[in-house]
Chain A
Amino acid sequence: MSALSTKHLLGIKYINTEDIHLILQTAKEFKEVINRPIKKVPSLRDVTIANLFFENSTRTRISFELAQKRLSADTINFSASASSVKKGETLLDTVNNILAMKVDMIVMRHSSVGAPMFLADKIQANIINAGDGTHEHPTQALLDAYSIKEKMGELKGLNVAICGDIRHSRVALSNIFCLQKLGANVMLAGPPTLIPKHMESLGVKTTYNIKEALQWCDVANVLRIQLERQDIKYFPTLREYSLYYGINRALLDSLKKEIVIMHPGPINRGVEINSDVADSKQSIILDQVENGVAVRMAIMFLLAGRSF
């Protein structure tokens, strides 16, 4: 049980439950490391990692970079807006050129679904998917699972509601796979236009009534409304969305129980979640961010240690 079953982290769908447990267990030891006076260990000092962000990112990118630095890895950063991609170079050419400079691992975010899977067949380096379109965002799901486990002790049998823009969310899909593999029950809540019909085939409950989901769950993971991905209008106005699906203090107080609130960020305050919820004791949003570094350290450590 000490090695991952896979060379890449492409999605939660492609790893098994033992892998998830191994990552979460290893992350726990890295969380201790990042809370030391000296937050750095020399494990990956001969490993070079390229961060290829073909799509914008702040938190994931900083989190990955910080995790790499705390592991003593050498890193190079690449963003599509300032690169030869603009000049018409293909993805495979771009990556092969970077790999020719002896890079051991690639962290990639891409707007196209399946981009990391496409590369995985063609290159030697380890690949970590940092988000591919609306498909998967495995490191987010793992840090969410870690945060829930840290707060609640165990995921098995726990009820987790994923609320909001399911249709455009890679966090939702990765979370569903991850939570199910760890034995939690999942309910999706949001407007009918934002919950694709085929989601039920994954074995999750769905509801269009946010209060019903919150009443049912122990943990609510609230997703951002991804306006930038919405090609048509899925609901009339943000104000109306907030009215029917926004999570506020009054709604939480009406539940007669205390649930844990999560959000992968960035938050649209006053839309899917109000400040009196996001900044409350119930919210573990900033713990998620802290745990993100530890979980990503664990993933890179385990993948790098596998290359024998």
Chain B
Amino acid sequence: MQSRVILDSKKLQLTIDRLCYQIVETHKDFKDACIIGVQPRGVLFADRLVKRLQHLFPNYTIPYGKLDITFYRDDFRRADKAFSPSVTDITFSLENKNVILVDDVLYTGRTIRSALDALMDFGRPNDVELVVLIDRRLQRHVPIQAKYVGKTIDSINSEKVKVYWQETHEEDKVELIAHTDKPL
């Protein structure tokens, strides 16, 4: 087993800052926009993003919700494990909103496809954009792409990307993990 840090805590902070400015560049004061984190891990990233946005732009009110996609998955009854849902917490209508969907790693794209289904049950958004911290660009199963990307990486299927957050792992970093003896 080999692992390599692809974003350390300092770079991660810079990346989050950059994403915040990019989002604000498009959405200005969030009058028509909202942020939706995808449960469970996208929410950890979204929490951080929202916190940073509020720090950088204290005058903005940022509508923030959490979306669980378990009931919309396309591999229910097909995967070799059972799924248990997390909390969905969206207290506002998404009708005509510009939704900024947040997840940590974009891989096959199936989670986001399910999330798009789930979003529609809260109203018809005006548009939906995707923010991801890591884009594993070569492994997409469905035609989905992110508008705001923290870092794009080329990886193979047997490798894993793991995101650690200070809140849950006492450290901010992103690692690429592979079952191999060769250093990555």
Query: CB < 8 Å: which of B77, B81, B87, B88 contacts A307?
Result: B77
> How many residues of chain B have a CB within 8 Å of chain A?
25
Chain B residues engaging chain A, CB cutoff 8 angstroms: 68, 70-73, 76-89, 93, 117, 120-123
Choose one: A29, A33, A41, A302; the contact of B82 (CB below 8 Å). A302
Number of A-B contacts (CB under 8 A): 63
Q: Is the CB of B82 within 8 A of A43?
A: no
Could you write out 20 A-B pairs with CB less than 8 Å apart?
A: A2-B82, A2-B83, A3-B81, A25-B84, A26-B84, A29-B86, A30-B85, A32-B87, A32-B89, A33-B88, A37-B93, A41-B121, A42-B72, A43-B70, A43-B73, A47-B77, A304-B77, A306-B82, A307-B77, A308-B81
Contact across chains for B88 and A43 when beta carbons are under 8 A apart: no
Report the minimum CB–CB distance from A300 to chain B (whole Å).
12
Which of A4, A26, A29, A47 is in CB contact (< 8 Å) with B88? A29
Q: How far apart sit A306 and B78, CA to CA, in the bound complex (Å)? A: 10
A29 in contact with B68 (CB, 8 Å): yes
| With known contacts A29-B88, A32-B87, A37-B122, A42–B117 Cβ distance under 8 A | yes
Residues of chain B contacted by A46 (CB below 8 angstroms): 77
The answer to whether B83 touches A41 (Cβ under 8 A) is no
Closest residue on chain B to residue A4 by CB atoms? B82
**Closest approach, in angstroms, between the C-beta of B110 and any C-beta of chain A?**
14
> CA–CA, A41 to B82, complex, Å?
17
Known interface pairs A304-B77, A305-B76. Does A42 touch B71 (Cβ–Cβ under 8 Å)? yes
Q: In the complex, what residue of chain B is closest to A39 when comparing beta carbons?
A: B121
CA of A4 to CA of B84, assembled, Å = 10
Q: Closest approach, in angstroms, between the C-beta of A291 and any C-beta of chain B?
A: 16
Determine whether A1 belongs to the interface, using a CB cutoff of 8 Å to chain B. Answer: yes
B97 to chain A, nearest CB (A): 14
| A37 contacts B123, C-beta separation under 8 Å | yes
Task: Using known A-B contacts A38-B121, A305-B76, determine if residue A3 contacts B82 with beta carbons closer than 8 Å.
Answer: yes
- Contacting residues, chain A, for B84 (C-beta < 8 A): 1-2, 22, 25-26
Nearest 10 Cβ contacts at the A-B interface: A3-B82, A41-B71, A29-B85, A2-B84, A38-B121, A43-B71, A305-B82, A2-B82, A32-B88, A308-B80
Given the complex, which residues of B lie within 8 Å of A42, measured CB to CB? 71-72, 117
Bound CA–CA A246/B122 (angstroms): 46
Residue of B nearest to A308 (CB): B80
A111 to B87, CA, bound (A): 39
Query: B72 to A41, Cβ gap below 8 A?
Result: yes
With both chains docked as a complex, state the minimum distance between the C-beta of B67 and any C-beta of chain A, in angstroms.
Answer: 11
Contacts of A1 in B (CB 8 A): 84
Q: Given A305-B77, A308-B79, A308-B80, check contact A36 B121 (CB 8 Å).
A: yes
Contact status B72-A43, CB under 8 Å:
yes
User: What is the CA–CA distance of A38 and B90 in the complex, to the nearest angstrom?
Assistant: 13
Q: B80 — which chain A residues lie within 8 A by C-beta?
A: 308
Report the minimal beta-carbon distance from B124 to chain A, rounded to whole angstroms: 11
Is A245 an interface position by the 8 A CB rule?
Answer: no
CB distance from B47 to the nearest CB of A (A): 19
Q: Looking at B78, B80, B82, B120, which has the most chain A CB atoms within 10 Å of its CB?
A: B82
